[in-house]
Structure 1
């Protein structure tokens, strides 16, 4: 009986730990998505600036 109780307690601790890990991974995933979006926009601005400078040099 004591072994079963200890096993249940251990399983509950693992479940809480797993939930914390999932939340941490979801938060990191969201941060990385935001960073990726930012970098895409920055890249688009840099490309636009390069294109603009090339057109200016031709004229």
Structure 2
């Protein structure tokens, strides 16, 4: 994986969301749809988990 920051929407001039943030948001959507949120997991743990998933996606990319 490149150490260079990659952006989800590189054509935009503001460069707001990184590709890692985008992957984390998509993971959060998928987990929320599966009622993962209702299993008593804290918001902090859920946030950490989706970024762990995003990091794994960045590695295999």
Higher helix share: 1
The reply to whether TM is greater than 0.5 is: no
Tell me which structure has the larger Cα radius of gyration: 1
Q: Which has the higher contact order (CA 8 A, sep 6+)?
A: 2
* TM-score, L = length of structure 2: 0.33
